[in-house]
């Protein structure tokens, strides 16, 4: 039995030796083959080399196309990046806080004397430096720079200390704020250059189309001259309540520090100013990129810059009308196409609209031949004009189209435009129809209440003065009662009423 165990151990050891020997031989062969193939790939006999010395004439067509796109991006970076600047601004905020020790013991006279506290609370002044980092780009050789206003407001007000670093040379300059526009978040800076400044080429944002290549260049998180690439996701985007500028949406990565930098097309032309992103929570800001960024169109910026340089402020057109939007049910009953027209609910006495002959109740359908669908359409068309420029306003009045040509004036300040509307009132007996309770008014009947289950709920409100329903004049309570008596089963309504001194028309159908 011993010789059998000895024979088995010998065979087992021989198997292990052979296995190790086979593994060694396989490793040597694999290494030789790998080195040989690697030498052939990098040598003259290889098919493709991705080294910098590649022979472009030997590349397949698909690689040539990809390489040409890459070269275009290289050229855009080389052309635009030197004209992008880093903007540092900082402000100091101060605040006072009372001595917390006094809050605990100061009100008790015994403890105040025991701890030898003053009769009055002592306060201490604290100060903190609030910094901000952003981007901008040079638009002229003499040192004008475009950026966002919010880049210059680290503590909610414009910083006193603004420093611009030119990326090409690394030189720092103290910048002067030439002017700004709160409405569009645009700021214009000026430096006194000690060098030959590189400048960007401004493009035409009206020609931007969805699907165009988009390139963002800026200083995200302080990383100077960062280049990101994507596409135009949308144009003419109404966003953030800004009625004076529509936005370009892009998926080119934008992050904190990109604000104020250029959005560039494939030709190296600036088509927008990178301004903000939207976060996963739906909030606006610069919290972190998720592929939804917004830029101010450069054509908007051109108009702002021109006025800031010439006047130091921005003026916008104004014609003196208050507007109420129409829904498609109302348009249908008025015989107006869907998504066309806004109602003139008030005309300011002595305004351009008043002088031209536009009246309360007119429906504005076009400005300079361009269709008007809503309030923002009209406001942006008029606001884009400079005071003194002409505007052709087309309205529908009693089913007829009329055109007026007027000269716009400068838009009043927000304070002037925020005057409270006068509210009408009425006393005496009341009447009720389908949950609407009214009393006698000066021009018609005054709504004194609307029941929650009324079909008029959400359309009429307390204080509204009804003057016409379905073409029937409502001058007093008797007119209203007669209408209510004859139209108990009425399902379709076209109501004309005043809300303060605003004239409104609403049409709707009870389902």
pLDDT 10s digits, 79-119: 999 999 999 987 777 666 666 555 555 555 656 666 566 66
- 181 versus 424: the higher-pLDDT residue is 181
Between 10 and 442, whose confidence is greater?
A: 442
pLDDT band at 452 (very low <50, low <70, confident <90, very high): confident
- The mean pLDDT of 134-147, rounded to a whole number, is 95
- More confidently predicted of 413 and 237: 237
Boundary of a domain, candidates 278, 311, 344: 311
**What's the domain count of the chain?**
4
The verdict on 285 and 335 lying in the same domain is no
pLDDT, position 209: 96
The predicted model gives 274-299 an average pLDDT of 75
**CATH at 452:** 2.30.42.10
Asked if residue 23 belongs to a domain, the reply is no
438 and 497 inside one domain: yes
Show which of 155, 190, 225 is a domain's final residue.
190
Q: Among this protein's residues, is 362 annotated catalytic?
A: no
C-alpha 19, offset from chain centre: 70
Q: Are residues 88 and 184 in the same domain?
A: yes
| pLDDT of 327 above 70 | yes
Co-location of 286 and 377 in the same domain: no
Q: What is the pLDDT of residue 234?
A: 94
| CA 33/CA 381 separation, integer angstroms | 72
What pLDDT does residue 33 have?
44
Query: Among residues 368, 382, 370, which one has the least CA distance to residue 322?
Result: 382
**Number of neighbouring beta carbons within 10 Å of residue 123:** 12
Output phi, psi for 421, to 5 deg. -75, 140
Tell me the sheet residues that pair with 93.
128
Q: Which residues pair with 130 in a beta bridge?
A: 91
CATH number at residue 180: 2.40.10.10
- pLDDT for the residue numbered 242: 67
Instruction: Assess contact for 431 and 442: CB atoms under 8 A.
Output: no
Query: Tell me: the pLDDT tens digits for 199-227?
Result: 999 999 999 999 999 999 998 888 888 99
Please check the confidence at residue 37 and state whether its pLDDT lies above 60: no
pLDDT greater than 70 at residue 447 = yes
Whether residue 168 is found in the same domain as residue 151: yes
Q: What is the mean pLDDT of residues 22-51?
A: 46
Whether 441 is in a domain gets the answer: yes
Q: What is the pLDDT of residue 281?
A: 55
Q: Are residues 179 and 254 in the same domain?
A: no
Q: Indicate whether 215 and 307 sit together in one domain.
A: yes
Catalytic, out of 135, 259, 322, 345: 259
* Active-site annotation holder among 91, 185, 377, 479: 185
- Give me the long-range contacts of 401-406 (CB less than 8 A, separation at least 24): 401/365, 402/362, 404/353, 404/356, 404/357, 404/358, 405/356, 406/319, 406/352, 406/353, 406/355, 406/356, 406/358
Report the candidate in 496, 492, 407 with the shortest Cα–Cα distance to residue 445: 496
pLDDT, position 322: 86
> Where is pLDDT greater, at 220 or 281?
220
Q: Are residues 182 and 106 in the same domain?
A: yes
**Residue range 365-370: average pLDDT?**
94
Decide if 36 is inside a domain. no
* 321: number of Cβ within 10 Å: 24
Residue at token pair 């370009």: 248
| Residue 245 reports pLDDT greater than 90 | no
* Mean pLDDT for all residues in the chain: 81
CA-to-CA distance for 271 and 171, rounded, in angstroms? 26
Q: Say yes or no: 221 and 303 in one domain.
A: yes
User: What pLDDT is stored for residue 216 in this prediction?
Assistant: 95
Which stretch of DSSP H or E encloses residue 392? strand 390-397
State residue 189's pLDDT score.
Answer: 95
Residues 295 and 325 in one domain: no
- Residues 305, 321, single domain; the answer is no
pLDDT at 123: 65
* Per-residue model confidence (pLDDT) at position 121: 59
Question: Any catalytic annotation for residue 501?
Answer: no
Name the pLDDT band for 66 (thresholds 50, 70, 90): confident
Out of 147, 162, 190, pick the residue that ends a domain: 190
Same domain, 181 and 234: no
Looking at 274-347, list the stretches that DSSP marks H as alpha helix, in order from N- to C-terminal side: 298-311, 328-334
Q: CA separation (Å) from 51 to 43, 46, 54, 66?
A: 11, 12, 6, 15
Percent of the chain beyond pLDDT 70? 76
123 catalytic? Reply is no
Between CA 97 and CA 79 the distance in angstroms is 52
| 161 φ, ψ (degrees, to nearest 5) | -110, 110
Please determine, for residue 50, whether its predicted confidence score (pLDDT) is greater than 50: no
Domain with 166, as residue range(s), is 82-190
Q: Please, which residues have CB within 8 angstroms of residue 344's CB and are 6 or more apart in sequence? A: 321, 322, 323, 353, 358, 359, 360, 361, 362, 363, 364, 395, 503
Catalytic residue among 91, 147, 150, 351: 150
Nearest one of 441, 442, 462 to 450, comparing CA atoms: 462
Q: Per-residue confidence at 280, pLDDT binned at 50, 70, 90?
A: low
Provide DSSP, 442-464. SSSEEEEEE-TT-TTBTTB-TT-
């Amino acid at each position: 039995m011993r010789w059998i165990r000895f024979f088995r151990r010998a065979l087992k050891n021989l198997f292990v030796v052979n296995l190790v020997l086979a593994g060694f031989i396989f490793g040597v062969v694999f290494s030789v083959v790998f080195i040989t193939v690697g030498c052939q790939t990098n040598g003259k006999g290889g098919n493709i080399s991705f080294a910098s010395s590649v022979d472009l004439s030997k590349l397949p067509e698909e690689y040539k196309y990809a390489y040409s796109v890459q070269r275009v991006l290289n050229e855009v970076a080389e052309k635009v990046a030197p004209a992008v600047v880093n903007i540092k601004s900082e402000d100091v905020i101060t605040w006072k806080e009372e001595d917390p020790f006094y809050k605990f013991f100061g009100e008790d006279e015994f403890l105040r004397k025991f701890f030898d506290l003053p009769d009055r609370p002592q306060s201490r002044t604290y100060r903190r430096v609030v910094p901000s980092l952003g981007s901008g780009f040079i638009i002229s050789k003499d040192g004008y720079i475009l950026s966002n206003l919010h880049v210059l407001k680290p503590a909610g007000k414009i910083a006193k200390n603004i420093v611009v670093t030119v990326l090409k040379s690394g030189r720092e300059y103290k910048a002067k704020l030439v002017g700004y526009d709160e409405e569009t978040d645009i700021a214009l800076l000026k430096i006194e250059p000690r060098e030959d400044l590189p400048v960007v080429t401004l493009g035409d944002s009206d020609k931007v189309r969805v699907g165009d290549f988009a390139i963002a260049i800026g200083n995200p998180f302080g990383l100077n001259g960062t280049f990101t690439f994507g596409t135009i996701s949308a144009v003419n985007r109404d966003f953030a309540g800004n009625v004076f500028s529509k936005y370009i949406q892009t998926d080119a990565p934008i992050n904190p520090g990109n604000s104020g930098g250029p959005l560039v097309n494939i030709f190296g032309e600036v088509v927008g100013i990178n301004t903000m992103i939207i976060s996963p929570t739906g909030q606006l800001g610069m919290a972190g990129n998720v592929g939804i960024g917004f830029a101010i169109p450069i054509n908007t910026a051109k108009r702002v810059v021109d006025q800031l340089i010439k006047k130091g402020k921005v003026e916008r057109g104004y014609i003196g009308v208050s507007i109420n939007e129409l829904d498609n049910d109302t348009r249908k009953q008025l015989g107006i196409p869907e998504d066309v027209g806004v109602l003139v609910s008030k005309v300011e006495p002595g305004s351009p609209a008043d002088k031209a002959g536009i009246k309360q109740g007119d429906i504005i359908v076009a400005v300079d031949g361009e269709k008007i669908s809503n309030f923002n359409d009209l406001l942006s068309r008029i606001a884009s004009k400079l005071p003194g420029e002409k505007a052709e306003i087309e309205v529908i009045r009693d089913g007829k189209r009329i055109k007026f040509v007027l000269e716009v004036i400068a838009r009043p300040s927000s304070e002037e435009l925020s005057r409270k509307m006068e509210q009408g009132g009425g006393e005496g007996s009341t009447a009720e129809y389908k949950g609407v309770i009214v009393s006698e008014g000066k021009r018609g009947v005054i709504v004194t209440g609307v029941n929650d289950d009324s079909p008029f709920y959400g359309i009429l409100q307390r204080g509204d003065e009804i003057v016409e329903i379905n073409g029937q004049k409502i001058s007093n309570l008797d007119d209203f009662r007669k209408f209510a008596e004859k139209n108990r089963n009425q399902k379709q309504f076209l109501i004309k009423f005043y809300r303060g001194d605003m004239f409104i028309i609403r049409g709707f159908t009870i389902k």
